[in-house]
């Protein structure tokens, strides 16, 4: 990290978190943003449905703008918005429309595709600053919904922001209302989640290629043009269609990656920017990504163990008295490796074995939650064999990952031998989880992809505005190490570290005013 990057720190009070959803990424823990539909996690659980939706059902409520010449944008024709069931229709203050952009930005006069856009205008026009473009992450989440429901009193944007800015969101190309990519879900479901041999490794590569090809067949040329460089050019087309010389930007999770790319391609068009739960802008490869995410999860469990050691009330039936949680985890892994760890039941251990991978999934969920009472209850039940444990299932990877994430960063691994060596090194660095289950799933989905990795664009000429990067110290999807590299990569960035477990921090009471103040006042 560049030592010149300014750092501020917050030590928030604990905030209750929703329970982790089986099969999903670890819950957001210290951030109540875990329950927010718009500000969602790096892996969009709902995105597979969005990607599989027929294109005909994905049209926005507003009329499409006339086809502009070349790559230029014409003004957006706004109309009423409709919510996707079970979500209700937004209020009349929400407007929806479409911006037409080239499918392939290297061919500006070629075929075009529609980008769905929504906005809520500033509620205090006399104090309006301009447009705040938002992206909730994913890849695969709906920015249209972020804007449509921006005034939700529970999980929307603050009154201060809505007074001063037009909140504008969009569905990235190939996502949701923006011409949803159509893939064969059955092809993705066949891919082994955790290869255990050289033969299974090759099967992963072959089936990944077949699944991605199904997207190209079902979607057409757009499936090969969903990389973030293309999305960022769409963002600037939206800016032009809005008639704005500059925009402010607030990106969450994967949206931070888009923000950094926008700052490289269009620095003159940025007023200011906040990157909440920041991705590494240029990871050096699969091993660094897997190590950063796994070490964060392992350290989160160490933090839980230390908290329990200092708190006599931090105990649960089934846990041996005086034994640290980390020592309990060591013993559970030893039993799982030996095939003697059993799933608990109401009256004692069942016959069903707990595999090391199942144990890793459970531990990642507990690490992402960050709550000692949940951890002790679950680990006590597993240790003693009596009680109930909520294991995470391995579902098929969201198709947005190979179509977007694997285009943006090179996570390819040479062969089975290199994969095993990386796994061993990551496990040694992160002994209390062995690996981050979400990161490993994402990495495996990139193997065998026929789509090329798009290079990070060169920094365009222009002075960057002040940028704020916000990250939890214990963020499993976007680790602090990557956020520090993000802040170091932007010369005008300040890093605000929050000493908590969590991911996507905007709704945290200690963080929201920090983000709001920067966006309104552009403070360094």
Tens-digit pLDDT profile for residues 179-218: 889 999 999 999 999 999 999 999 999 999 999 999 999 9
User: Vertex 389, ends 388 and 393: CA angle to 5°?
Assistant: 135
Mind listing the pLDDT tens digit for each residue in 385-427? Answer: 999 999 876 667 788 899 999 999 999 999 999 999 999 999 9
250 sits in which H/E element: strand 247-252
Per-residue pLDDT, averaged over 492-512, amounts to 95
Residue 424 dihedral angles phi and psi, to the nearest 5°: -65, -40
Mean pLDDT value of segment 58-76: 51
How far is the CA of 170 from the CAs of 85, 239, 246, 255, 270, in angstroms? 18, 11, 17, 11, 17
Tell me if 248 sits within 8 A of 519, measured CB to CB.
Answer: yes
| Res 72: pLDDT | 56
**Cα gap 159→136, rounded to integer Å:** 18
For 265-285, write each residue's pLDDT tens digit. Answer: 999 999 999 999 999 999 899
Give dist(CA 381, CA 423) in Å, integer: 28
Output the pLDDT for position 322.
Answer: 84
Give the residue with greater pLDDT, 80 vs 59. 80
- Element (DSSP H or E) covering residue 505: none
Residues 6+ apart with CB under 8 A from 152: none
**Residue 305 — very low, low, confident or very high, per pLDDT cuts 50/70/90?**
very high
Buried (b) or exposed (e) across 144-178, using 16+ Cβ within 10 A?
bbbbbbbbeeeebbbeebbbbbbbbbbbbbbbbbb
Residue 461, burial from CB neighbour count under 10 angstroms (0-12, 13-18, 19+): exposed
Closest CA to 288 of 450, 182, 169, 411: 411
Q: What is the pLDDT of residue 73?
A: 67
Q: Which residues contact 287 (CB under 8 A, 6 or more apart)?
A: 422, 425, 426
> What's the mean pLDDT when you consider all of the chain?
87
Q: What is the pLDDT of residues 334-343, one digit of tens each?
A: 999 999 999 9
Tell me the average pLDDT across 219-243.
97
Domain ranges of the chain: 286-455
Q: What percent of the chain has pLDDT over 70?
A: 85
Q: What does the pLDDT average to over 459-485?
A: 97
| Ranges of H-type helices in 430-501 | 437-445, 480-489
Residue written as tokens 């570290």? 497
Amino acid 61: pLDDT:
36
Calculate helix-pair angle for 356-369, 372-384, nearest 10 degrees. Answer: 160
What's residue 522's pLDDT? 84
Mean pLDDT of 139-157: 93
């Amino acid at each position: 990290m560049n030592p010149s990057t300014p750092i501020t720190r917050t030590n928030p009070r604990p905030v209750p978190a929703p329970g982790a959803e089986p099969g999903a990424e670890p819950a957001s823990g210290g951030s109540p943003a875990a329950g927010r539909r718009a500000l969602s996690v790096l892996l969009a659980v709902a995105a597979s449905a969005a990607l599989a939706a027929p294109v005909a059902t994905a049209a926005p409520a507003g009329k499409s703008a006339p086809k502009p010449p070349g790559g230029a944008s014409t003004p957006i024709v706004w109309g009423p918005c409709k919510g996707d069931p079970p979500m209700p229709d937004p209020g009349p203050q929400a407007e929806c429309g479409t911006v037409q952009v080239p499918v392939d930005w290297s061919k500006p006069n070629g075929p075009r595709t529609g980008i769905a856009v929504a906005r809520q205008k500033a509620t205090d026009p006399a104090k309006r600053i301009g447009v705040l473009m938002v992206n909730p992450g994913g890849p695969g989440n709906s920015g249209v919904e972020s804007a449509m429901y921006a005034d939700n009193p529970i999980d929307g944007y603050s009154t201060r922001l809505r007074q001063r800015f037009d909140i504008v969101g969009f569905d990235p190309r190939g996502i949701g209302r923006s011409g949803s990519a159509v893939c064969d879900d059955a092809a993705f479901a066949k891919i082994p989640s955790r290869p255990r041999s050289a033969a299974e490794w090759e099967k992963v590569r072959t089936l990944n290629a077949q699944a991605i090809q199904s997207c190209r067949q079902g979607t057409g040329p757009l499936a090969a043009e969903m990389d973030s460089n293309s999305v960022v050019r769409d963002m600037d087309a939206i800016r032009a269609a809005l008639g704005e010389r500059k925009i402010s930007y607030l990106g969450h999770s994967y949206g931070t990656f888009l923000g950094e790319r926008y700052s490289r391609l269009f620095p003159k068009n940025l007023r200011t920017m906040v990157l909440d739960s920041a991705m590494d802008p240029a990871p050096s490869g699969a091993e660094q990504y897997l190590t950063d995410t796994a070490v964060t999860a392992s350290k989160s469990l160490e933090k839980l163990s230390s908290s329990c050691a200092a708190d006599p009330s931090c105990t649960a039936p089934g846990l041996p008295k005086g034994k640290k949680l980390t020592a309990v985890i060591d013993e559970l892994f030893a039993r799982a490796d030996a095939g003697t760890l059993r799933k608990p039941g109401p009256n004692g251990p069942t016959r069903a074995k707990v595999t090391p991978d199942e144990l890793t999934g459970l531990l990642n969920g507990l690490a992402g939650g960050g709550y000692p009472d949940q951890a002790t209850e679950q680990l006590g039940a597993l240790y003693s064999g009596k009680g109930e444990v909520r294991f995470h299932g391995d579902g098929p990877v969201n198709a947005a990952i190979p179509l977007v994430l694997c285009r943006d960063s090179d996570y390819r691994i040479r062969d089975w031998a290199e994969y095993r060596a990386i796994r061993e090194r990551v496990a040694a660095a992160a002994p209390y989880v062995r690996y981050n289950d979400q990161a490993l799933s994402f990495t495996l989905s990139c193997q065998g992809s026929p789509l090329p990795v798009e290079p990070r664009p060169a920094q365009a000429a222009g002075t960057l505005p002040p940028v704020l990067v916000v990250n939890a110290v214990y963020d499993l999807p976007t680790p602090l190490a990557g956020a520090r590299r993000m802040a170091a990569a932007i010369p005008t960035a300040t890093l605000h570290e929050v000493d908590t477990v969590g991911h996507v921090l905007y709704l945290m009471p200690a963080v929201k005013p920090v983000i709001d103040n920067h966006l309104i006042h552009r403070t360094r």
